[in-house]
Structure 1
Amino acid sequence: MARSEPPNLARCPDCDTVAIGSHGVECCDREMERLSGTQPPIEPAVEVLLETVFGIGETELDVCLCVMEHDGVTVAELADRLEFDRSVIARHLVDLVEIGVVERERRLLRQGGHVYVYTPVPEQVVRERLLSGFAGWVEDAVAELDAISREKIEAIPDRDRDGERDQQIFR
């Protein structure tokens, strides 16, 4: 499978909306302009990205990778393989199921009772879910930055008629 072009930042010249996309991102009924020189000074590591955007820490990532390597595993099997307490594994699995990268299936045991078996979600589905989650995170981050900008602009003291600034105290 060929890799798609990496996403770039783009800006609408009409309304200054910023977006992320590979090509053909449109706003205000026309294609947005690609912003040049927007490469981050440091490429974020996957671990940093997963922790920052999705709250997936190192242990949770280990659990996720173990599920992917050993398709169809239980909490007990994961605890043995990773040498973590079962309660730690179970807590991380709940998060991974909620994020949508791992699925949980209840299986009945012959001797009675049941056990939950965890399997990885197909790679393409995970990519789409993570990309969607990341896009939502970026949208929220941009809204936060926009709110900060508006607050700063609104906090600029008005000049009175004499051209002198009114005093304002910020705490």
Structure 2
Amino acid sequence: MAPTGRTVTDATDGDVADGAPASDDLDRPGVSEEPPEPDLDELLRVVFGMSPAELDVCLCVMEHGTLTTAELTERVGYDRSVVARHLNHLADLGVVEKRRQILDRGGDVYVYTPEPPETVRRRFRETFLRWAAAGVDRIDDLSREKVEGLAEAESATEWTVFREP
């Protein structure tokens, strides 16, 4: 049987394969089979570094189509520099297109147009998967550091098998 809190990679001992939690993990108090569904606002803030203001700007562009920084500033009620900074981040994420438009009276202005919903979903999904993979790697690193620390402790001689060469 796999130890509690570990995953198994082979189903020869009756546990779940493919890195799923061992069955005894699911029986522990506080461990559920279904994690809570993430709130979309929270997910966008955590994964993409969006503040509530940036999320407001993003949603405004998505709802109203092509807008200038000035038009967005009026609609969302944030300072122009805040809106401009958020629009640049959204353009970097690839969820809005930033382009220069020549004005009839002379000069130019940047306008921001939402990318198609399927493009936005794909880009968010790709970025999320990279973020999740990096998070899993970080968790694995922390776990390895903890085991290596135990192996190096004088009182944990039975852990020497986990020391890396």
Q: How does 1:1-171 map to 2 (within 5 A)?
A: 13=9, 32=18, 38-40=33-35, 42-158=36-152
Partner Cα distance (1:107, 1:13) in 2: 55
Letter of the structure 1 residue corresponding to residue 94 of structure 2? G
Letter of the structure 1 residue corresponding to residue 42 of structure 2? V
Write 1 or 2 for the structure with the bigger share of strand. Answer: 1
Contact 1:74 1:116 in 2 (8 A): yes
Contact 2:96 2:113 in 1 (8 A): yes
Partner Cα distance (2:143, 2:150) in 1: 11
RMSD: 2.3
Count how many residue pairs are aligned between Structure 1 and Structure 2. Answer: 136
In percent, how many aligned pairs have the same letter?
45
How far does the alpha carbon of each residue in 1:94-118 deviate from its partner, in whole angstroms, 9 at most, with x for none?
1111111111110011221100110
- The 1:159–1:109 alpha-carbon spacing in structure 2 relative to 1, beyond 3 Å, is closer
Write 1 or 2 for the structure with the bigger share of helix. Answer: 2
How far does the alpha carbon of each residue in 1:114-135 deviate from its partner, in whole angstroms, 9 at most, with x for none?
0011000111011111111111
Partner Cα distance (2:142, 2:69) in 1: 44
TM-score by structure 1 length? 0.71
TM-score by structure 2 length? 0.74
Structure 2 spans left out of the alignment, 5+ residues:
1-6, 11-16, 27-31, 158-165
- Give the Å deviation of 1:34: 5.9
Structure 1 spans left out of the alignment, 5+ residues:
1-10, 15-30, 167-171
